[in-house]
Amino acid sequence: MRYKFISIFFISFYGSLVLAQNNYKGVVISTENNQPLAGVTISIANKPIAITNGKGVFQFTDSNSKVVIGFSHIGYLSQLNNYKAAQTITVTLNPSGTVLSTAVVKAFERNTSLKNIPVSVSVLGKDDLERYSNTSFLQAVNTVPGVKMDERSPGSYRLSIRGNLLRSPFGVRNVKVYWNGIPFTDASGNTYLNQLGFNNIGKIEIIKGPGGSLYGAGTGGVVLLDSRVADKDEHSISINTLAGSWGTTAADVAYKKNTDNLNVAFSYAHQQTDGWRNHTNMRRDVANYTGFFTINKKENIAANIFYSDLYYQTPGGLTTAQMAANPRQSRPAAGPFKSAEDQQAAIFIKTFYAGFSHLYQFNNNWNNTTSIYSSNTRFSNPSILNYQRKTEQGIGGRSITQYQNNRIKVHLGGEYQYGFTSSRTFGNKLGVTDTLQLDDEIAAKQYNIFLQTDISLPENFIINAGVSYNNYNYGFTRYNQRPVKTITKTFDPAVGPRISLLKKINKNYSVYATVSKGYSPPTIDEIVPSTGIFNPLLDAEKAVNYELGFRGELVENKLFIDASYYIFYLNNTIVTRRDASGADYFVNTGKTKQRGFEAAVIYYPIRFATGFVKELKLWSNYSGINARFKEYKQTINDYSGNKLTGTPPKVFLFGTDVITKRGLYANVTYSYTDIIPLNDANTFFASQYNLLIGRVGYKRKLCKVIEGEIYFSFDRSFNTPYSLGNDLNAAGNRYFNPSAPENYYGGLKLKFNL
């Protein structure tokens, strides 16, 4: 009887202990790719009790209903927090690498972390691009020190790097643009960046200074675009919509799929706006297919196929008096010239672009990447002066062979581009073509051969040196003049060297020095501008750039700084002129000198936290440039020593980003832009302006297969009127293109995981 009582006692006692055990279950996700993380060690009081499986799931029991659980994994920051039994536990672990080591940069084919890049380069990732309204890249690009993107009216963009805007009455010139490593800038030097939809691009790298040692002609810098593709193991359909001020609406739908052997994305986007000013309607439709395919262990191929249909009205510049009277008006009629609205001034661009690349890995040391592209653009421009219609066809290719071992990396290759333009200019009779004035055909051909070497030296020195041989020529034929003859212009071949030396002080600090040369021949639109006058005397620009830079993580994972100082000399500078009608033409002006200091600072008071505020980021960028004409005479006028046209001496930005654990977020940006000289004589300036830009939103997973986001954004100027883009050296003092003093947008995103 006594043994029976003892047995019942022990069964009851230990049974109560078993009943007191509490279940804990959850999943661990990596913030690097938003995927489950296997092999994470789960511990209580530093004692391992479980490990996550292949799906990132863990499970264990404990006698306590509330415990402090630790999560650790090699290559990730450990995390410790309180959890209750039976609650849904979702833990996100962040990579332990510093800001410098986790930012992978492709510039100059380095494909390494930012701390190992011996040149000035800035990277805009998906999060940087989506801090604003999702209507364009402009606001994100303008956060980069030394870079200014203009918008004279919706759809009309210009891009300048370190003050290089003199050659761009519209469009992007003297900046070489690549998309997924394939040339997007055509053989004539033009880039229709405004044809890209916001959601086509997931990453932008901006290289400052001449990049001719590897990227051919150009003194203004290089832009590398990467498509927005699927995340790891993603298979989804997403729908994004937005609406806002001045009749702005946009919608896009995207399909994405990622497996071990492929990553494909197909998207279609539509955007339109009525614009703030009169005669500033814009409409854009874009379809894009991007695919990356692994054929076998040695081969990969990629395809990027793109079609864009863009239309935007061009309101024209205003004088100071016209802007004061009514900043929303388009250019009115004056003298013999009708108004912009009467002439239905606008741009119509339709482009088909297809690029393909092939990577072959011969062995661990050797590989080759070869790419080709073809493009066709239909361009129409009824303007106040005339009506121009062009068909532009282009082909090209690029091949790079790479050798690398532990200490040396060598790139050898070349690039070839050919473009053919058929251009006809008519009279413009209220937006309808009238009598034929000009009938031209223009062929442009350019190629470059390059060699680049990276050598890792003792004492943590890295030397990066490259040189290229560049050749450019064009042929021009005017068929409505007799006798018909073709004029061929071949520019003197140019050698573009660059040498950079970088010293890694430790894992968190590096300093570098670089010297580079570049040259930039005039584009087709500069040789045969809107005046229609062929200018065979226009010569190529030549430049040399000296630069010192520093990058450092002053407090690991907390405080980061990237700063550089440069001196840039430009000879045979090409500048814009305008005749009495407002038509553009171009001349070489002598020499310019630009000295500048740029700095970017990022500070994280809160990062990787487990409380309500998950991350708090403070950042600031500064650009200071003393840009002047060194030698410049125009007939009897001597502009030597004047400030460089179109370049603000100072630009300052400050931003704050807050991310909460519940999915709420907020982004606030303040920017200041200094006065801008609008003509070479420095008699007209655009006023300084201050902008406040904000976005708040909420993201959450609605169910197992649906993710949602809703957001609201705004931008407001404290200076009215002001302009995001001015006409330089404008005839009749029509310099100003006023911008909307404030804009408001709201957006909704839905993502369906298939």
Higher pLDDT, 31 or 469: 469
**pLDDT above 60: residue 24:** yes
Q: How far apart are CA 99 and CA 495, in angstroms?
A: 36
Indicate the average pLDDT of the chain: 89
Nearby residues of 555 by Cβ (< 8 Å), 6 or more positions away: none
Amino acid at 389: R
Residue 88: which domain range? 2-93
Do 295 and 257 lie in one domain? The reply is yes
Do 436 and 293 lie in one domain? The reply is yes
Higher pLDDT, 411 or 174: 411
> Is residue 56 within 8 Å of 71, Cβ to Cβ?
no
**pLDDT above 60: residue 152:** yes
Do 332 and 227 lie in one domain? The reply is yes
Q: How far apart are CA 9 and CA 12, in angstroms?
A: 5
**pLDDT above 80: residue 97:** no
Which tokens is 57 given?
A: 């799931």
Residues 528-538: tens digit of each pLDDT: 776 777 788 88
> Is residue 699 within 8 Å of 717, Cβ to Cβ?
no
Query: Per the structure, how many domains does the chain have?
Result: 2
CA separation, residue 53 to residues 28, 39, 621 (Å) = 10, 6, 43
Residues 28-70: tens digit of each pLDDT: 887 666 677 887 888 888 788 888 887 788 888 888 888 889 8
pLDDT exceeding 70 applies to what percent of the chain? 94
Decide which of 93, 108, 134 is a domain's last residue.
93
Do 69 and 134 lie in one domain? The reply is no
pLDDT band at 17 (very low <50, low <70, confident <90, very high): very low
Q: What is the pLDDT of residue 80?
A: 80
Do 534 and 402 lie in one domain? The reply is yes
Do 517 and 554 lie in one domain? The reply is yes
Q: Looking at the domain assignment, is residue 104 inside a domain?
A: no
Do 336 and 465 lie in one domain? The reply is yes
Q: Looking at the domain assignment, is residue 320 inside a domain?
A: yes
Q: Looking at the DSSP assignment, which residues form a beta bridge with residue 690?
A: 672
Nearby residues of 196 by Cβ (< 8 Å), 6 or more positions away: 137, 225, 286, 308
Which tokens is 450 given?
A: 């390059």
Do 467 and 318 lie in one domain? The reply is yes
Q: Could you tell me where the DSSP H helices lie in 75-211?
A: 99-102, 126-129, 138-141
Q: Looking at the domain assignment, is residue 466 inside a domain?
A: yes
Q: What is the pLDDT of residue 405?
A: 87
pLDDT band at 418 (very low <50, low <70, confident <90, very high): very high
Q: Looking at the domain assignment, is residue 100 inside a domain?
A: no
Which tokens is 532 given?
A: 């229609």
- CATH number for position 453: 2.40.170.20
Do 489 and 354 lie in one domain? The reply is yes
Q: Looking at the domain assignment, is residue 375 inside a domain?
A: yes
Q: Looking at the domain assignment, is residue 420 inside a domain?
A: yes
pLDDT band at 169 (very low <50, low <70, confident <90, very high): low
Q: Looking at the domain assignment, is residue 115 inside a domain?
A: no
How far is C-alpha 304 from the geometric centre of its chain's CA atoms?
17
Do 61 and 148 lie in one domain? The reply is no
- CATH number for position 68: 2.60.40.1120
Decide which of 50, 74, 93 is a domain's last residue.
93
pLDDT band at 117 (very low <50, low <70, confident <90, very high): confident
> Is residue 101 within 8 Å of 82, Cβ to Cβ?
no
Do 192 and 43 lie in one domain? The reply is no
Query: At 15, which helix (H) or strand (E)?
Result: helix 2-20
Residues 424-446: tens digit of each pLDDT: 999 999 999 999 999 999 999 99
pLDDT band at 12 (very low <50, low <70, confident <90, very high): very low
Q: What is the pLDDT of residue 1?
A: 47
Do 487 and 433 lie in one domain? The reply is yes
How many alpha carbons lie under 13 Å from residue 331 in its C-beta half-sphere? 34
How many alpha carbons lie under 13 Å from residue 635 in its C-beta half-sphere? 2
